[in-house]
Amino acid sequence: MKAMLKDGLLAAFALALCVVPVRASDVKAGDLVISQAWSRATPSGAKVAGGYLTIENKGAAPDKLLSVSAEIAGKADLHEMTTENGVMKMRPLDKGLAIEPGKTVKFAPGGYHLMLQELKAPLKQGDKVPVTLEFEKAGKVAVTLDVQGVGAQAPSDGGQMMKKMPDHSGMKM
């Protein structure tokens, strides 16, 4: 009996090593894995916010992100920001964005992003903002943006950034 239990535990452990990890906050839709969904807090009265996330296509066929919608915004679009000759330009992705097989597309400040316009309320740090992404093959996918601080450049790092900052505890103000 002990040998069977031991063999069963070893088999379960071996299987766990073969499974691709998906974090609890990740959203799986068909062959797509959507992770690190976040936004920044907005000042009172702001009418625009950006949304950021990562989409990984683990399948053998492409999919396409067609649109985004959000209850908190009167209008939501897919956008791309680029810099040409030192000038930043932003444009809507009216035809969507292809997510090629085996590739990862990152939505981040200064690049691809979700543009939430006509905000009905400010986004506050700690809020969870539901949005719906619509894909050509995966269909409609509900995702939650974790709202970070106003100047955040990436999703919360669990305090790792603070550990890297110099200690100013002896500083006199």
pLDDT at 19 exceeding the cut of 50:
no
For 51-107, write each residue's pLDDT tens digit: 999 999 999 999 999 999 999 999 999 999 998 899 999 999 999 999 999 999 999
> Residue 94 has which token pair?
């009216």
Torsion on CA atoms 59, 63, 67, 72, rounded to nearest 10: 0
Report the SS3 class of residue 17.
helix
pLDDT per residue over 28-47, tens digit each? 999 999 999 999 999 989 99
Q: What is the pLDDT of residues 128-149, one digit of tens each?
A: 999 999 999 999 999 999 999 9
Residue 169 has pLDDT above 80, yes or no: no
The DSSP code sequence of 18-85 is HSPP--TT-EEETTEEEEEEEEE---TT--EEEEEEEEEE-SSS-EEEEEEE-TTEEEEEEEEEEEET
* 172 membership: H or E segment, kind and range: none
Burial readout 129-147 (b: 16 or more C-beta within 10 A, e: otherwise): bebebebeebeebebebbb
Residue 81 · residue 111 · CB < 8 Å = yes
Domains of the chain, first to last: 19-146 (2.60.40.1890)
Task: Identify the band that residue 156 occupies on the pLDDT scale cut at 50, 70 and 90.
Answer: low
> Is pTM beyond 0.85 here?
no
